[in-house]
Structure 1
Amino acid sequence: MGHHHSHSHTHAHPDLKGRNLFISILLNIAITIAQVVGGLMSGSLALLSDALHNFSDVISLIISYVADKLSKRKASFQKTFGYKRAEILAAFINAATLIIVAVLLIIEAIERFQNPQEIESNLVIWLSLIAILGNGFSVLLLKKDAESNMNMKSAYLHLLTDMMASVAVFIGGLLMKYYQLFWVDSVLTFAIAVYLIWMGFDLLKDSTKVLMLFTPDATPINKIVDEINTFESIKNVHHVHIWQLNEDEIHLEAHIDFKEDISLSQFDVILHKIEDFLLDNYGINHVNIQPEFGKDDAKDVIVQD
């Protein structure tokens, strides 16, 4: 059985991820405390909703921080892959909490819209400004890593949506202060919640696909099989599995039926050609091939194990 793996993705400053997450955690703890106190004093549901979202940010950032640390641990006999999937699991949890928080906000917004209350708008305005600045700084800290890491993206989305929510609360505070439109507080809360669901769904879907070992969307199995079938001495490629382990690794496992009873050294030459082809064209960097000759088994591309 031929086996190979290589890592084509590198991170120049992996230590900065943890540091930036830790700074964001401290900022969001401070913002949450300020908003809870301010929301209770002012009577603003939007501000309390924003505080609840900020608290979910703190939880999500802590989860992301722990997952980042776990992902760096080495493999062992009991954990042969190490904790490579910790960040994907964190992304799934964080995306799910985004949607749960959003549903709770919608319920509260509907109840408050039916019974609007007068709100101390000055406190709402100033606290929302503080939240905008704090979350904005956190967003900038995580933006770069969010482009290439699902775990960091989940934390980034929590912060980005919270910053947008704070902008909405700020606008609502101004409308309540100058136009006495207190119902705006509930409408903005509802809008924030819908936005959270929209942002969280894609990430939940993507992380679920990875956890369920689904083939990555950009990896065309039939095309890959057809191209490998054109290699010299290869009769048939079958029993194929392709899955994404984490942000850096895409695995391919397959059985290859050869036209002739070739030697191991000949197989190694062909294997290296397959590995280079898959890495260069599809980013598949972990290849596991089972060579066969005249074996009586199912020759379908996809075989149910």
Structure 2
Amino acid sequence: MAHHHHHGHHHPPVHGRNLLVTILLNIAITVAQVIGGLLSGSLALLSDALHNFSDVISLIISFFAHKISHKEASTNKTFGYKRAEIIAAFVNAASLIIVAIILIKEAIERLLSPEGIHATTVIWLSLLGIAANGFSVWLLRKDADRNMNMRSAYLHLFTDMLASIAVLAGGLAIYYFQWFWVDPLLTILIALYLVYVGYALLKTSTRVLMLFTPDSIQVREIEASIMAIEPVKNVHHVHIWQLNEDEVHLEAHIDFKEDILLSQFDAILEQIEREVYQKFGINHVNIQPEFGKCDSKQLIVQD
């Protein structure tokens, strides 16, 4: 079985140092918001602190996943730790949704039983959260575009910044109008947004972990592209999966019309590799050549 790699698809390196800075910033924010939330009686501030605490855990997971993903492969870990960052993205997305559910529960209870809030503390601490999270978002913005793990960390921080803006708005509403109900209402809105962004990332990371074919790839189009090459007779037993952010794999059996030479097969394999890389972004191709073999010729075969 011939196995070719196309190495032009790799993204620029991701910077773990920026992630470490955001971890330290979020630890400081969390401590300040917990103290401020307890002193002021603001549920929105405490919910923001809980979200920040989940961010700290998520960022630490992302940081270590980023570090170990670069460890070398070995005989008992032939892919190395390349999927560590995908697992981290999955865990972080799930934690966003769990935190959101907790926040909604607490907010509903507070709506039913409103409590007084010290608005000045809420305002100053929300401004601190906006500044620190805004800086963290700026640090990770480039890496978030090309790495799912970094995107999960970025989403945690971005939603934190939005949450701090909402808390500031609530603090101002309480300070000027004594609208105490604004605090839990904003908490619910923040939580619903967490569910929205968390679900999208959870769905994407789950697809990768389950070895589903990437949404951008149509298997029938790949089949047609390979079938157009002479002397290919049939393409079957196809598997396409995404290993991580950089690698998309194609595995297939190809039945030939004639008993070709190995040198001919190598030339055809290079053509297939070039075609699927240029058209579909697949950079790892693993082809099993066959001639007159009695096996299932279905495109997709359940192993």
TM-score (norm 2): 0.99
Cα-to-partner distance string for 1:23-57 (whole Å, 9 max, x where unaligned): 00000000000000000000000000000000011
Q: 1:266 aligns with which of 264, 286, 298?
A: 264
Q: 1:253 aligns with which of 251, 254, 275?
A: 251
Q: Does 1:240 align with 2:204?
A: no
Question: How far did 1:12 drift?
Answer: 4.2
Question: How far did 1:226 drift?
Answer: 1.0
Tell me, what secondary structure is at the counterpart of 1:8? coil
Equivalent residue number for residue 301 of structure 2: 303
Matches within 5 A, 1:58-137: 58-137=56-135
Equivalent residue number for residue 220 of structure 1: 218
Is 1:8–1:248's contact at 8 Å kept on the other side of the alignment?
no
Equivalent residue number for residue 37 of structure 1: 35
Q: 1:140 aligns with which of 122, 138, 141?
A: 138
Question: How far did 1:6 drift?
Answer: 2.2
The one-letter code matched in structure 2 to 1:175 is: A
Is 2:225–2:275's contact at 8 Å kept on the other side of the alignment?
no
The one-letter code matched in structure 1 to 2:142 is: K
Question: How far did 1:258 drift?
Answer: 0.3
Counterparts of 1:36 and 1:54, CA distance in 2: 10
The one-letter code matched in structure 1 to 2:291 is: F
Tell me, what secondary structure is at the counterpart of 1:238? strand
Tell me, what secondary structure is at the counterpart of 1:90? helix
Q: Does 1:4 align with 2:8?
A: no
Tell me, what secondary structure is at the counterpart of 1:252? strand
Counterparts of 2:46 and 2:37, CA distance in 1: 5
Question: How far did 1:171 drift?
Answer: 0.3
Tell me, what secondary structure is at the counterpart of 1:84? coil
Residue 10 to residue 239, structure 1, CA distance change in 2 (3 Å): closer
Tell me, what secondary structure is at the counterpart of 1:251? strand
Equivalent residue number for residue 207 of structure 1: 205
Q: Does 1:231 align with 2:229?
A: yes
Q: Count matched residues.
A: 303
Is 2:90–2:205's contact at 8 Å kept on the other side of the alignment?
yes
Unaligned stretches of 5+ in structure 1?
none
TM-score (norm 1): 0.98
Is 1:237–1:255's contact at 8 Å kept on the other side of the alignment?
yes
Unaligned stretches of 5+ in structure 2?
none
Tell me, what secondary structure is at the counterpart of 1:235? strand
Is 2:11–2:146's contact at 8 Å kept on the other side of the alignment?
no
Equivalent residue number for residue 155 of structure 2: 157
Q: Does 1:285 align with 2:283?
A: yes
Counterparts of 1:252 and 1:55, CA distance in 2: 40
Counterparts of 1:129 and 1:26, CA distance in 2: 18
Counterparts of 1:206 and 1:264, CA distance in 2: 39
Question: How far did 1:105 drift?
Answer: 0.3
